[in-house]
Structure 1
Amino acid sequence: MGSLRRATRSLHDHRIVALAAVVGALTGLVVALFERIVRGGLIDRLLEAPLALQVVAPLVGFGIAGLVLTHLARGAGPSLADDYLRAYHDRETRLRLRDLPAKLLAGAATLAGGAAMGFEAAAILSGATIGSTVQRRTSRWFTREESRVLLVAGAAAGVGAIFKAPATGALFAMEVPFRADLARRTLLPTLFASAAGYLTFVAVDGPSPLFPIGSVHDLRWVDLAAAVALGLLAGGGARAFAWAVRAAKARTAGIPLGVRVLVAGASVGALVAGSDALTGEPLALGPGYDAIRWAFEPGHAAGVILGLLLLRGLATIGAVAAGGAGGLFIPLVIEGALLGRLVAELVGAGDSTLLPVLGVAAFLGAGYHVPLAAVVFVAEATGRPGFVVPGLIAAASAQLTMGPRSVTTYQRDRRMGHLEGRLDLPVATAVRTDAVTAPPTASVADVISTHLLGARLLSVPVVEGADYLGVASLHDLTGLDPDRWADTPVSEVMDVEVPAVPLRASVGEALALLEEADADRLPVIDERGFVGVVSTSEILRLDEVLEATEAGRQRAMQDRQKAV
């Protein structure tokens, strides 16, 4: 029997891994085509266009994206990557394949217009949507605990593909749903999906590192001290950046689309012109790969670096305010690289490539609260695994000054599925208000046949109106002479000593009463009378309740922000 169970489990695991690999390959193909069309066919041409066209392009892109989201995407929001987090935390949120083309079109318009945002939002959305769709159509192969496996795997494949960094994709998709935790039961499928997405993407685009850099010197103790200092500084910068992103979303939510696009688009255009005047290149335009290249070049004056850091940051905030459908991963990377270059110039290490790299790890890790993914990204994107140790130090230090928030409002602090997370919850989260009850006048025979055996219960509360009177258990009732069952009201046999749980009690207090009474179920009452029943099985299923509660809180938070 044990060998049969192991064989069945092995078949189950292999099936999930195979599905994850299929999701990864499909995601890699979609992301490669999107990147080839938008970057190779549109953005590269915009970067070679006259400055006057580059200044106007963001306004046009934001306008098209807004119209697409409003009319073709059925009012979908512009935060494409946040759709993954919403779907992860809220079972009522579904990523539908039929909505994906319109959302990708909005993303293409945003990016092709030169918004200072990244491709990763479209990549994450593509993978998460493909994974979610495949999982819904093969749901019979998954347990409830595995209900998000392909959603996470698809998101990982999207990140792994667009950045040519499969380990980063896997870690980011597992880290980003929580600020201080990891998505569970997803590691192996996520790794396979991310690897498949990466392999498919590089088959189309080539395997070169995203940010190839030159030689680096051997690691010194002073470099580790610099990693700590730069990490603390980057954490503060990422905190300000996250605040600005949240404020831009909240304060523009109620502004009409036309006004928002006109003002923000014109502002971003002015920032593009400003970056061209400052550096000789329109480095505030587009996703910013040229800005990263510029940040790794030595010899720039500190004032110019600081100016570009501010201009790029403001351009991204402007894109968010306009409702641009792009990602914030690459903007965080660019801000970190520029901050590292600025510090290098200020301390007389202008030829250092280490500090810009550490800035990337720290700023990105802090902005999304994904320190592990940020460090691995630095190693994969640069092709330099030697950056891992100082990158870890910088990313960890940045968490100290970042604070509890991030650039997305859909992150949660941690998983609440652990027992210690349940104990402090109000018992109302585990109460069954539709519980079966028996009236005191019902006969013992009726209660046994209808209320207990008929409902497959071992005990039932006895309730008259709103008043809780006691508990009738199968053990007590069957102790009565069967000849008396038909004529004896249950009120004469019920146990009036069974305690009731106050509705104001916590789950921990309810568990203590259940243990004290040696019962699996207890009635719950408030000042008005009987409310329902709490049971150990309902408490053990609180993960679902917690998900629904948190999802509702997140939706309410978003509604309040839109109303500001």
Structure 2
Amino acid sequence: MKRVLSFLRALAPEQQVIRLLAASVLLGGLVGFIISLLQWVVLRALLESVEGLPIWAAAISPFFGLAIATLTLRTIGRGITPSTSDEHIRAYHEEAPYLSGRNLTPRLVAGIATIGLGGAVGLEGPSIYTGSVVGLKLSRRLRRWLGKDSAKILMTAGAAAAVASLFQAPATGVVFALEAPYRDDLANRALLPSLLASAAAYLAFISTPLVQAERVLPFAFDSGVGTAQILGAIAIGLGAGFGGRAYAWCVRRAKAIAADHSAFRAVVVGGVLLALLAVISNEAAGDPITLGPGVATIRWLLEDQRPIIMVLFVFLLRASATFVTVGAGGTGGFFIPLAVQGVLFGTVVGNGLESIGITGVSGNLWPVLGLAAFLGAGYRTPLAAVMFVAESTGGGAVVPALIAAAVSQLVAGPSSVATGQKVERTGLVEGKANSPVGNVLKPVIFTVTPDSTVYEFIHNLAIGQQLKTVPVVDGARYVGLCTVSACAEVERDKWPTTLIAEVVDRTVPPGSPHWNLRDAMVAMRKSEQDMLAIVGDDNVFLGVVSAEDIVRLEEIIAVTQ
């Protein structure tokens, strides 16, 4: 009986894991409620009111939104940037992730004003930022209960909960939060907490009386898999890959413009351009569909059979509105704007495919494939894009969407609308290798001068201190390295008269304190030495980095990992 009880105890999760999962559920419920309130304020109370205004009033609304956002960030926010989801990614890659709770209110207000008054960006940016801050706050409050390593996990779980509740797509929230920090990898340590937080957030979101349970994208069909679907997916994937690459470049350029120009000029110029785009779209499409994140654009597209030239024109108008909003300092995200661009792009390409004889598929397939490919290429989150398609369509287009997203990644390059993404995870040792060499620089107690003799080096340092390699220093200046092997080549009876200056190895270049540890390891490998001297200005000797210390560091990390 005792063995049975011991076996059952071994199967049970550790107490700290159970606490972390319980905290994830609490976090998810809290974030889901906050996002439901945020969505109601932005999309229902503000944006729907703006869309109901006369065209002249609706057209100038984004100007006031940008003005409020800029003023809030510069006063209450004390000059902080409009970045939201980028801040989450930046914090994720820090050894000790930190997001200031004081910055949450100004960034939220800026996002509400930008999007609620018609800026062409998405609500997921402020939502992700909110979920991340709440997750970090909760981890700090419960640090004794959860342990010090819970911060990054709960921050990721909070971001997943925000996306899951906003799009009413729990699986998409999980995959997006795990995929967003890297272009070619996953932040998989937070998988289980993110799953629980997303599920709890979704349930909390749909349980509040402020919102209704509905799909963000109104598609539901079963496309099947055949030659037409595969060929169409490849064609759309190729086009969307290049399109997403160009879109990401334009977003980065718009961010640079916002940083380089005065806030007043950016708001005025941006407000005028957004007003013109709203008027043009209203005249051309019968609705100011450049306002807001873009869900209204999808409704417009599905209401009637639109001419392809008009769809292409709206594609350009929507993209321009997003770039102008970002360049004018607006606060928001790109998930829904990218998805909308993909739907429009897929519609245009799909019409071209049908004109050359690729037919026999559901009319909704091409927009959905465009969504998966364009969103995956622009954000470098192909799995999240496909999962979003699966949850939006009831799983009817998963296989073609996978093909389109995969093809788009092949041509998308390293571009992404999210700054701060890394290519892939680095292990603890590799991450340490990227740190400045000055962080691990070891002062040297034993050195030898050029006018010392080989006899003194052998007896006092090689034998007396068991040192194989010793830096040669003249006053404060580095000269080179003295090794046992070099001294051993001198005849023993000449040791007392042979100076170190005659055997010193001057061919090994010293390192700089501005190098990282990886640079030091490469230099030691090239010189075939197990020690590298580090010098400052005027060749002043500062200390050494040794291969032995690096190996010891790797062993320590391997044990503690």
Equivalent position SS for 1:187: helix
Decide which moves more: 205-214 or 188-197: 205-214
Tell me the distance in 2 between the aligned counterparts of 1:267 and 1:170. 36
Residue in structure 2 matching 1:371, options 365, 382, 389: 382
Is the Cα–Cα contact under 8 Å of residues 294 and 340 in structure 2 kept in the other structure? yes
Tell me if 1:128 matches 2:132: yes
Tell me the distance in 2 between the aligned counterparts of 1:165 and 1:537. 49
Compute the displacement of 1:173 (Å).
Answer: 1.1
Tell me if 1:395 matches 2:401: no
Decide which moves more: 428-437 or 168-177: 428-437
> How does 1:227-238 map onto structure 2 within 5 Å?
227-238=233-244
Aligned residues: 504
Corresponding residue number in structure 1 for 2:441? 433
Decide which moves more: 302-311 or 90-99: 90-99
Tell me the distance in 2 between the aligned counterparts of 1:470 and 1:146. 46
Label 1:245 to 1:428 Cα distance change in 2 as closer, same or farther (>3 A): closer
Amino acid paired to 1:367: G
Q: CA RMSD in A?
A: 3.9
Tell me the distance in 2 between the aligned counterparts of 1:312 and 1:391. 23
- Runs (5+) with no aligned partner, structure 2: 1-5, 450-459, 483-503, 513-517
Tell me the distance in 1 between the aligned counterparts of 2:187 and 2:388. 19
Corresponding residue number in structure 1 for 2:314? 308
Corresponding residue number in structure 1 for 2:337? 331
Is the Cα–Cα contact under 8 Å of residues 80 and 122 in structure 1 kept in the other structure? yes
Is the Cα–Cα contact under 8 Å of residues 343 and 371 in structure 2 kept in the other structure? yes
Amino acid paired to 2:47: I
Decide which moves more: 358-367 or 165-174: 165-174
> How does 1:171-186 map onto structure 2 within 5 Å?
171-186=175-190
Tell me if 1:360 matches 2:364: no
TM-score by length of 2: 0.79
Corresponding residue number in structure 2 for 1:414? 424
Corresponding residue number in structure 2 for 1:51? 55
Tell me the distance in 2 between the aligned counterparts of 1:363 and 1:167. 19
> How does 1:57-68 map onto structure 2 within 5 Å?
57-68=61-72
Is the Cα–Cα contact under 8 Å of residues 221 and 394 in structure 2 kept in the other structure? no
Amino acid paired to 2:441: T
> How does 1:525-544 map onto structure 2 within 5 Å?
525=534, 528=539, 530-534=541-545
Tell me the distance in 2 between the aligned counterparts of 1:386 and 1:537. 56
Is the Cα–Cα contact under 8 Å of residues 135 and 151 in structure 2 kept in the other structure? no
Corresponding residue number in structure 1 for 2:18? 14
Corresponding residue number in structure 2 for 1:262? 268
Tell me the distance in 1 between the aligned counterparts of 2:10 and 2:551. 29
Decide which moves more: 32-41 or 94-103: 94-103
Label 1:537 to 1:25 Cα distance change in 2 as closer, same or farther (>3 A): farther
Tell me the distance in 2 between the aligned counterparts of 1:102 and 1:356. 36
Amino acid paired to 1:387: A
Tell me the distance in 2 between the aligned counterparts of 1:20 and 1:236. 38
Is the Cα–Cα contact under 8 Å of residues 377 and 416 in structure 2 kept in the other structure? yes
Amino acid paired to 2:539: R
- Runs (5+) with no aligned partner, structure 1: 442-446, 453-458, 472-495, 546-564
Corresponding residue number in structure 2 for 1:242? 248
Is the Cα–Cα contact under 8 Å of residues 83 and 331 in structure 2 kept in the other structure? yes
Is the Cα–Cα contact under 8 Å of residues 430 and 539 in structure 1 kept in the other structure? no
Percent of residue pairs bearing the same amino acid type: 38
Compute the displacement of 1:263 (Å).
Answer: 0.7
Tell me the distance in 1 between the aligned counterparts of 2:51 and 2:294. 11
Residue in structure 1 matching 2:351, options 345, 349, 352: 345
> How does 1:104-143 map onto structure 2 within 5 Å?
104-140=108-144
Amino acid paired to 1:195: A
Equivalent position SS for 2:189: coil
Is the Cα–Cα contact under 8 Å of residues 73 and 107 in structure 2 kept in the other structure? yes
Corresponding residue number in structure 2 for 1:493? none
Corresponding residue number in structure 2 for 1:503? 511
Corresponding residue number in structure 2 for 1:210? 216
Corresponding residue number in structure 2 for 1:477? none
TM-score by length of 1: 0.79
Corresponding residue number in structure 2 for 1:318? 324
Tell me if 1:290 matches 2:296: yes
Amino acid paired to 1:72: I
Equivalent position SS for 2:397: helix
